[in-house]
Amino acid sequence: MAPVPGATAYAWTLPPGATNSTGAGTSTITVDFGSNAVSGNITVYGTNLCGAGGTSPVYPVTVGLLPIAAGTVTGPATACTPATGLVYSVPPVTNATGYAWTIPAGAMITAGDNTNSITVDFPAGVTSGNFSVYGTNTCGNGTPSANYAVSVAPKPAAPVITENSGILTSDAPSGNQWYKDNAVIPGATAQTYLPAQTAHYSAIVTLNGCSSVPSNDIYFLMTTIEALGKDGTVSVHPNPNNGLFTLDISTKDLQILDLKVVNNLGSPVYELKDLRVQGSSSKTIDLRNSPNGVYSILLYNNNTHILKKIVINK
């Protein structure tokens, strides 16, 4: 306050819980407000050897509390760009009237700014980063939350699948998951897939936790051809078997074939390339380490696709 004429000292009255830390007895004091301080009035009067002067007008002081420390941020730990509408939140912070968020560079808060729940968009090009938040009020800022790491990666391009000689191939070298009639085929994650049933087939690629949109759809029609050219035949015996069986092939003309045995998921369990057949030929196949079940034997080249079913029952 301005100096009081004739005063040689000053007597201050402070709200409960407030203490005069410096300047006692002067016209200017520094006040500390402890954790138990409450709102109240500040007044002062001047004094000298003759006595006390009149008391100043009341100066009301409102005492508030800083926001408490922010809790744990929650929300998607992976963002696949471009992504929109991802929600991140923190439990309401006691004493907070606002919230200050830090988000990865390039990401944008599209709703809920200055609240405990925000909606965030991740445009293409945003990189991985941290979320954190602290509560605010007229008294100041609370302690920030711990960093919440969010991994950001681009969505892979939709794969393109093709069919050749009964084999489906994705143009994506890794991350493939094959689907039959829009249902996931467990374990079918290779770049190629050998279908054993008539159905619609597609693939989705997942890399760094981010998935593409589905590929094009291929309707695969499984056909069984029992002849290999003129006067050619294929037979399997015994069937059912314990996993050890013989494939008999007879053909008049030279045939160069690829051989695959696949399980009921379409995954190969046996493969042989460039099998040359002319006349009669027998091939013994040992799958005794394979579990019981129905298996498909496929012989194929650019002109032929032969399917035989066997049952392994040990």
Under 8 Å between Cβ of 270 and 285: yes
Report the predicted TM-score, pTM, of the whole model to 2 decimal places: 0.59
The CA-CA-CA angle for residues 71, 74, 76, to 5°, reads: 160
pLDDT in tens, 190-240: 888 878 778 899 999 999 889 999 999 999 876 554 445 555 788 899 988
Q: How far apart are CA 308 and CA 234, in angstroms?
A: 9
Strands (E), 26-112: 30-33, 40-48, 51-52, 59-61, 78-81, 83-89, 98-102, 108-111
161 neighbors 170 (Cβ within 8 angstroms): yes
Residue 122, pLDDT score: 97
CB 89 within 8 A of CB 67: no
Q: Name the class of domain 233-312.
A: mainly beta
Q: Is the peptide bond before 238 cis (omega within 30 degrees of 0)?
A: yes
Is the separation of the CB atoms in 311 and 240 below 8 Å? yes
Q: Each residue of 244-273: pLDDT tens digit?
A: 999 998 888 888 889 999 887 777 899 999
Residue 117 has a pLDDT of 98
Question: Is residue 183 predicted with pLDDT exceeding 70?
Answer: yes
Count CA atoms within 13 Å of residue 308 on its CB side. 23
The predicted pLDDT at position 227 comes to: 47
Per-residue model confidence (pLDDT) at position 150:
97
- Identify the three-state secondary structure at position 206: strand
Same fold, 78-154 and 233-312: yes
Q: What is the pLDDT of residue 225?
A: 45
The pLDDT assigned to 105 comes to 95
Full DSSP string of 260-299:
EEE-TTS-EEEEEEEEEEEEEEEEEEE-TTSPSEEEEEEE
Residue 48: what pLDDT? 93
> Residue 165: pLDDT band by 50, 70, 90 thresholds?
low
Q: What is the model's pLDDT at position 37?
A: 87
Q: What is the mean pLDDT of residues 64-91?
A: 95
What's the fold here for domain 78-154? Answer: Immunoglobulin-like (2.60.40)
User: So where are the chain's domains?
Assistant: 9-61, 78-154, 161-220, 233-312
